[in-house]
Chains A and B, each alone.
Chain A
Amino acid sequence: MSDERLDAEDLNRLRELGQRFMRAVPHNNALGLELRSVGEGRAEIFLPYDLRLVGNPETGVLHGGAISALIDACCGAAVFQALRKPMAIATLDLRIDYLKPAAPGVGVTARAHCYKVTRHVAFVRGVAFLDHEDDPIATSAGTFMLGTRTTSRTEGAT
Protein backbone atom coordinates (compact mmCIF):
# COMPACT_ATOMS: atom_id res chain seq x y z
CA MET A 1 0.00 0.00 0.00
CA SER A 2 2.69 2.51 -0.98
CA ASP A 3 2.10 6.09 -1.91
CA GLU A 4 3.97 7.45 -4.91
CA ARG A 5 4.32 10.84 -3.36
CA LEU A 6 6.57 9.41 -0.66
CA ASP A 7 10.16 8.49 -1.35
CA ALA A 8 11.72 5.27 -0.08
CA GLU A 9 13.23 6.95 2.95
CA ASP A 10 9.85 8.35 4.00
CA LEU A 11 8.25 4.95 3.64
CA ASN A 12 10.95 3.26 5.72
CA ARG A 13 10.48 5.87 8.42
CA LEU A 14 6.72 5.31 8.43
CA ARG A 15 7.13 1.53 8.57
CA GLU A 16 9.55 1.74 11.44
CA LEU A 17 7.26 4.08 13.36
CA GLY A 18 4.35 1.76 12.74
CA GLN A 19 6.18 -1.34 13.87
CA ARG A 20 7.43 0.41 16.98
CA PHE A 21 3.83 1.43 17.66
CA MET A 22 2.67 -2.22 17.44
CA ARG A 23 5.42 -3.53 19.69
CA ALA A 24 4.95 -0.75 22.24
CA VAL A 25 1.25 -1.51 22.77
CA PRO A 26 0.75 -4.51 25.10
CA HIS A 27 -2.80 -5.23 23.95
CA ASN A 28 -1.78 -5.32 20.28
CA ASN A 29 0.98 -7.74 21.27
CA ALA A 30 -1.43 -9.87 23.31
CA LEU A 31 -3.70 -10.26 20.28
CA GLY A 32 -0.70 -11.14 18.10
CA LEU A 33 -1.39 -8.26 15.70
CA GLU A 34 1.01 -8.02 12.75
CA LEU A 35 1.51 -4.75 10.93
CA ARG A 36 1.53 -5.75 7.26
CA SER A 37 1.91 -2.46 5.46
CA VAL A 38 1.61 1.27 5.86
CA GLY A 39 1.27 4.24 3.53
CA GLU A 40 0.39 7.87 3.92
CA GLY A 41 -2.66 7.79 6.20
CA ARG A 42 -3.08 4.06 5.64
CA ALA A 43 -2.37 0.87 7.56
CA GLU A 44 -2.99 -2.84 7.15
CA ILE A 45 -2.88 -5.13 10.18
CA PHE A 46 -3.37 -8.90 10.37
CA LEU A 47 -4.96 -10.74 13.30
CA PRO A 48 -3.77 -14.39 13.18
CA TYR A 49 -6.30 -17.06 14.09
CA ASP A 50 -5.86 -18.04 17.74
CA LEU A 51 -7.93 -20.50 19.79
CA ARG A 52 -7.61 -18.16 22.79
CA LEU A 53 -9.63 -15.54 20.89
CA VAL A 54 -12.55 -17.79 19.94
CA GLY A 55 -16.05 -16.64 20.85
CA ASN A 56 -17.96 -19.87 20.23
CA PRO A 57 -16.00 -23.03 21.08
CA GLU A 58 -18.44 -25.12 19.06
CA THR A 59 -17.84 -23.30 15.77
CA GLY A 60 -14.31 -22.00 16.47
CA VAL A 61 -15.13 -18.55 15.11
CA LEU A 62 -13.17 -15.58 16.50
CA HIS A 63 -15.00 -13.35 18.99
CA GLY A 64 -16.34 -10.02 17.70
CA GLY A 65 -14.39 -8.25 20.44
CA ALA A 66 -11.06 -9.39 18.97
CA ILE A 67 -12.12 -8.03 15.59
CA SER A 68 -13.21 -4.74 17.19
CA ALA A 69 -9.80 -4.44 18.83
CA LEU A 70 -8.10 -5.20 15.51
CA ILE A 71 -10.10 -2.46 13.78
CA ASP A 72 -9.45 0.03 16.60
CA ALA A 73 -5.70 -0.70 16.43
CA CYS A 74 -5.65 -0.44 12.63
CA CYS A 75 -7.52 2.87 12.65
CA GLY A 76 -5.05 4.22 15.24
CA ALA A 77 -2.11 3.07 13.11
CA ALA A 78 -3.58 4.81 10.05
CA VAL A 79 -3.89 8.05 12.04
CA PHE A 80 -0.23 7.81 13.03
CA GLN A 81 0.67 7.44 9.37
CA ALA A 82 -1.27 10.61 8.55
CA LEU A 83 0.48 12.79 11.16
CA ARG A 84 3.44 14.97 10.23
CA LYS A 85 5.03 14.36 13.63
CA PRO A 86 4.40 11.63 16.22
CA MET A 87 1.96 12.60 18.97
CA ALA A 88 -0.35 10.89 21.44
CA ILE A 89 -3.78 10.02 20.07
CA ALA A 90 -6.95 8.68 21.67
CA THR A 91 -10.07 7.10 20.19
CA LEU A 92 -13.01 9.49 20.53
CA ASP A 93 -15.64 7.29 18.94
CA LEU A 94 -15.76 4.20 16.79
CA ARG A 95 -18.70 2.69 14.97
CA ILE A 96 -18.41 -0.90 13.75
CA ASP A 97 -20.93 -2.76 11.58
CA TYR A 98 -20.67 -6.55 11.50
CA LEU A 99 -21.60 -7.76 8.03
CA LYS A 100 -20.92 -11.47 8.42
CA PRO A 101 -19.07 -13.80 10.78
CA ALA A 102 -15.38 -14.65 10.54
CA ALA A 103 -14.53 -18.23 9.59
CA PRO A 104 -12.98 -20.90 11.86
CA GLY A 105 -9.24 -21.35 11.50
CA VAL A 106 -8.81 -18.18 9.47
CA GLY A 107 -7.13 -14.92 10.48
CA VAL A 108 -8.60 -11.49 9.77
CA THR A 109 -7.03 -8.56 7.92
CA ALA A 110 -7.97 -4.95 8.64
CA ARG A 111 -7.26 -1.92 6.46
CA ALA A 112 -7.84 1.64 7.57
CA HIS A 113 -7.57 5.00 5.89
CA CYS A 114 -7.24 8.27 7.76
CA TYR A 115 -8.80 10.56 5.16
CA LYS A 116 -8.93 13.85 7.07
CA VAL A 117 -6.78 15.41 9.77
CA THR A 118 -7.68 18.68 11.43
CA ARG A 119 -5.83 20.45 14.24
CA HIS A 120 -7.54 18.40 16.95
CA VAL A 121 -9.30 15.48 15.29
CA ALA A 122 -8.53 12.73 12.75
CA PHE A 123 -11.25 10.91 10.78
CA VAL A 124 -10.76 7.26 9.79
CA ARG A 125 -12.58 4.57 7.85
CA GLY A 126 -11.75 0.90 8.23
CA VAL A 127 -12.66 -2.50 6.90
CA ALA A 128 -11.98 -6.07 8.08
CA PHE A 129 -12.01 -9.06 5.74
CA LEU A 130 -10.86 -12.66 5.37
CA ASP A 131 -9.72 -12.94 1.74
CA HIS A 132 -10.77 -9.87 -0.20
CA GLU A 133 -11.42 -6.30 0.84
CA ASP A 134 -14.53 -6.25 -1.36
CA ASP A 135 -16.05 -9.05 0.73
CA PRO A 136 -15.76 -7.51 4.22
CA ILE A 137 -16.81 -9.04 7.52
CA ALA A 138 -16.92 -5.63 9.24
CA THR A 139 -16.71 -1.96 8.35
CA SER A 140 -15.99 0.99 10.62
CA ALA A 141 -15.91 4.77 10.92
CA GLY A 142 -14.14 6.52 13.75
CA THR A 143 -12.62 9.72 15.07
CA PHE A 144 -9.46 10.20 17.13
CA MET A 145 -8.33 13.11 19.29
CA LEU A 146 -4.83 14.34 18.46
CA GLY A 147 -2.12 15.55 20.81
CA THR A 148 -3.71 14.17 23.93
CA ARG A 149 -1.81 14.99 27.05
CA THR A 150 0.35 12.20 28.38
CA THR A 151 -0.28 12.94 32.05
CA SER A 152 -4.02 13.49 32.03
CA ARG A 153 -6.86 11.05 32.62
CA THR A 154 -9.50 13.28 31.10
CA GLU A 155 -9.14 12.21 27.48
CA GLY A 156 -10.42 9.07 25.77
CA ALA A 157 -8.76 5.69 25.64
CA THR A 158 -6.05 4.78 23.19
Chain B
Amino acid sequence: MSTSDSWLRQVLAEARAAGDPSRLAAAVPYAQTMGISLLLAPGGPHAGELLGVMRFGEHLIGNPVLPALHGGALCALLESTAIFQLLWESELSATPRTIGLTVEYLRSGRPVDTFARGMPTRQGRRVTNVRVEAWQDDRSRPIAVASAHFLVHSDEGPAKLEI
Protein backbone atom coordinates (compact mmCIF):
# COMPACT_ATOMS: atom_id res chain seq x y z
CA MET B 1 0.00 0.00 0.00
CA SER B 2 1.18 3.53 -0.66
CA THR B 3 2.17 5.89 2.15
CA SER B 4 -1.30 7.46 2.03
CA ASP B 5 -2.73 3.99 2.75
CA SER B 6 -0.73 3.34 5.93
CA TRP B 7 -3.66 4.39 8.17
CA LEU B 8 -5.84 1.84 6.38
CA ARG B 9 -3.28 -0.92 6.69
CA GLN B 10 -3.20 -0.33 10.45
CA VAL B 11 -6.99 -0.15 10.79
CA LEU B 12 -7.35 -3.33 8.73
CA ALA B 13 -4.85 -5.19 10.93
CA GLU B 14 -6.67 -4.07 14.10
CA ALA B 15 -10.10 -4.96 12.71
CA ARG B 16 -8.89 -8.41 11.65
CA ALA B 17 -7.24 -9.02 15.04
CA ALA B 18 -10.50 -8.13 16.76
CA GLY B 19 -12.56 -10.12 14.23
CA ASP B 20 -14.67 -6.98 13.87
CA PRO B 21 -14.95 -5.57 10.32
CA SER B 22 -17.10 -2.66 11.50
CA ARG B 23 -13.87 -1.05 12.74
CA LEU B 24 -12.74 -0.75 9.15
CA ALA B 25 -15.87 1.16 8.12
CA ALA B 26 -15.74 3.28 11.27
CA ALA B 27 -12.35 4.64 10.19
CA VAL B 28 -13.81 6.21 7.04
CA PRO B 29 -15.58 9.54 7.78
CA TYR B 30 -17.90 9.32 4.76
CA ALA B 31 -19.06 5.81 5.73
CA GLN B 32 -19.77 7.09 9.25
CA THR B 33 -21.77 10.04 7.91
CA MET B 34 -23.83 7.80 5.65
CA GLY B 35 -24.42 5.07 8.25
CA ILE B 36 -22.52 2.49 6.19
CA SER B 37 -20.89 -0.30 8.18
CA LEU B 38 -19.78 -3.92 7.90
CA LEU B 39 -20.94 -7.03 9.69
CA LEU B 40 -20.45 -10.77 9.56
CA ALA B 41 -23.67 -12.58 8.64
CA PRO B 42 -24.90 -14.08 11.94
CA GLY B 43 -26.43 -17.35 10.73
CA GLY B 44 -28.13 -19.28 7.98
CA PRO B 45 -26.54 -20.43 4.75
CA HIS B 46 -24.35 -17.33 4.59
CA ALA B 47 -23.05 -17.38 8.19
CA GLY B 48 -19.76 -15.58 8.64
CA GLU B 49 -19.96 -13.82 5.30
CA LEU B 50 -18.93 -10.16 5.24
CA LEU B 51 -21.86 -7.87 4.45
CA GLY B 52 -22.11 -4.14 3.90
CA VAL B 53 -25.01 -2.48 5.69
CA MET B 54 -26.49 1.01 5.40
CA ARG B 55 -28.58 1.77 8.46
CA PHE B 56 -31.65 3.74 7.54
CA GLY B 57 -31.70 7.43 8.34
CA GLU B 58 -33.80 10.31 7.01
CA HIS B 59 -30.65 11.77 5.42
CA LEU B 60 -30.63 8.92 2.88
CA ILE B 61 -34.00 9.79 1.36
CA GLY B 62 -34.03 10.82 -2.28
CA ASN B 63 -37.78 10.77 -2.90
CA PRO B 64 -39.70 12.04 0.16
CA VAL B 65 -43.09 11.30 -1.42
CA LEU B 66 -42.73 7.52 -1.71
CA PRO B 67 -40.45 7.67 0.38
CA ALA B 68 -37.44 6.07 -1.33
CA LEU B 69 -33.69 5.99 -0.82
CA HIS B 70 -31.51 8.27 -2.97
CA GLY B 71 -29.87 6.51 -5.92
CA GLY B 72 -26.57 8.10 -4.93
CA ALA B 73 -26.78 6.58 -1.44
CA LEU B 74 -27.32 3.11 -2.88
CA CYS B 75 -24.45 3.67 -5.29
CA ALA B 76 -22.23 4.59 -2.32
CA LEU B 77 -23.25 1.44 -0.40
CA LEU B 78 -22.50 -0.79 -3.40
CA GLU B 79 -19.12 0.80 -4.13
CA SER B 80 -18.04 0.92 -0.47
CA THR B 81 -19.04 -2.69 0.15
CA ALA B 82 -17.02 -3.88 -2.85
CA ILE B 83 -13.91 -2.00 -1.70
CA PHE B 84 -14.23 -3.05 1.95
CA GLN B 85 -14.76 -6.64 0.88
CA LEU B 86 -11.69 -6.66 -1.37
CA LEU B 87 -9.66 -5.27 1.53
CA TRP B 88 -11.06 -7.72 4.07
CA GLU B 89 -10.99 -10.90 1.99
CA SER B 90 -7.93 -10.40 -0.25
CA GLU B 91 -4.31 -9.76 0.51
CA LEU B 92 -3.96 -6.66 -1.61
CA SER B 93 -0.80 -4.63 -1.80
CA ALA B 94 -2.72 -1.44 -2.63
CA THR B 95 -6.09 0.05 -1.78
CA PRO B 96 -8.50 -0.74 -4.62
CA ARG B 97 -9.13 2.32 -6.78
CA THR B 98 -12.47 2.52 -8.55
CA ILE B 99 -12.02 2.74 -12.32
CA GLY B 100 -15.70 2.71 -13.12
CA LEU B 101 -19.01 1.29 -12.07
CA THR B 102 -22.45 0.80 -13.55
CA VAL B 103 -25.40 0.75 -11.17
CA GLU B 104 -28.78 -0.66 -12.16
CA TYR B 105 -31.73 0.27 -10.00
CA LEU B 106 -34.24 -2.57 -9.91
CA ARG B 107 -36.65 -1.61 -7.16
CA SER B 108 -37.32 1.44 -5.07
CA GLY B 109 -35.28 1.47 -1.86
CA ARG B 110 -37.68 1.58 1.07
CA PRO B 111 -36.82 3.50 4.27
CA VAL B 112 -35.27 0.50 6.05
CA ASP B 113 -31.76 -0.94 6.48
CA THR B 114 -30.08 -2.05 3.25
CA PHE B 115 -27.48 -4.82 2.92
CA ALA B 116 -24.92 -5.50 0.22
CA ARG B 117 -22.53 -8.24 -0.82
CA GLY B 118 -20.03 -8.36 -3.66
CA MET B 119 -18.98 -11.31 -5.79
CA PRO B 120 -15.56 -10.90 -7.39
CA THR B 121 -16.12 -12.18 -10.93
CA ARG B 122 -12.59 -11.85 -12.27
CA GLN B 123 -9.48 -11.14 -10.23
CA GLY B 124 -6.60 -10.16 -12.45
CA ARG B 125 -3.15 -8.96 -11.55
CA ARG B 126 -4.02 -5.31 -12.13
CA VAL B 127 -7.81 -5.16 -12.32
CA THR B 128 -10.57 -6.86 -10.35
CA ASN B 129 -14.17 -7.02 -11.52
CA VAL B 130 -16.84 -7.20 -8.83
CA ARG B 131 -20.59 -7.60 -9.08
CA VAL B 132 -22.37 -6.20 -6.02
CA GLU B 133 -25.98 -6.61 -5.00
CA ALA B 134 -28.00 -4.59 -2.52
CA TRP B 135 -31.17 -5.89 -0.87
CA GLN B 136 -33.45 -5.11 2.04
CA ASP B 137 -35.70 -7.79 3.58
CA ASP B 138 -35.27 -10.46 0.93
CA ARG B 139 -31.82 -11.26 -0.41
CA SER B 140 -33.32 -12.95 -3.48
CA ARG B 141 -34.95 -9.64 -4.48
CA PRO B 142 -32.10 -7.15 -4.97
CA ILE B 143 -33.06 -3.47 -5.16
CA ALA B 144 -29.86 -2.43 -6.98
CA VAL B 145 -26.88 -4.17 -8.54
CA ALA B 146 -23.55 -2.78 -9.65
CA SER B 147 -20.75 -4.01 -11.82
CA ALA B 148 -17.45 -2.34 -11.01
CA HIS B 149 -13.80 -2.44 -12.03
CA PHE B 150 -11.09 -1.73 -9.48
CA LEU B 151 -7.40 -1.15 -10.02
CA VAL B 152 -5.59 -3.33 -7.49
CA HIS B 153 -2.00 -3.34 -8.70
CA SER B 154 0.75 -2.56 -6.24
CA ASP B 155 3.07 -0.34 -8.29
CA GLU B 156 3.58 3.07 -6.81
CA GLY B 157 2.09 5.24 -9.51
CA PRO B 158 0.76 8.77 -9.83
CA ALA B 159 -2.07 10.16 -7.73
CA LYS B 160 -4.32 7.49 -6.26
CA LEU B 161 -8.07 7.43 -6.07
CA GLU B 162 -8.94 6.94 -2.43
CA ILE B 163 -11.71 4.68 -1.21
Q: Which residues of A contact B (CB under 8 A)?
A: 24-31, 51-59, 61-66, 68-73, 76, 88, 90-98, 100-101, 150-158
The answer to whether A72 and B27 touch (CB under 8 A), given A26-B64, A27-B61, A94-B102, is no
The answer to whether A27 and B161 touch (CB under 8 A), given A55-B30, A57-B29, A72-B71, is no
Q: Could you show 7 A-B contacts with beta carbons less than 8 Å apart?
A: A26-B70, A56-B7, A65-B76, A101-B160, A101-B161, A150-B66, A158-B71
Secondary structure call for the B interface:
mixed
| A64–B98 touching, CB < 8 Å | yes
| A55–B28 touching, CB < 8 Å | yes
| B162–A61 touching, CB < 8 Å | yes
Nearest A residue to B102 via CB reads A95
Nearest B residue to A68 via CB reads B75
Proximity string of chain B (4-36) to chain A, C-beta cutoff 8 Å, 1 when within and 0 when not:
111110000000000000000001111111100
| B108 in complex: contacting residue of A62, A76, A94, A156, CB < 8 Å | A156
Nearest A residue to B32 via CB reads A52
| B99–A56 touching, CB < 8 Å | no
**CB-contacts of B49-80 with A (<8 A):** 58-66, 68-77, 79-80
The answer to whether A72 and B102 touch (CB under 8 A), given A25-B62, A155-B108, is no
| B62–A156 touching, CB < 8 Å | no
Residues of A within 8 A of B108 (CB): 90, 152-158
Nearest B residue to A152 via CB reads B108
| A27–B30 touching, CB < 8 Å | no
Q: How far is the CA of A28 from the CA of B62 in the complex (A)?
A: 7
Residues of A within 8 A of B161 (CB): 64, 98, 100-101
| A94–B103 touching, CB < 8 Å | yes
A88 to chain B, nearest CB (A): 7
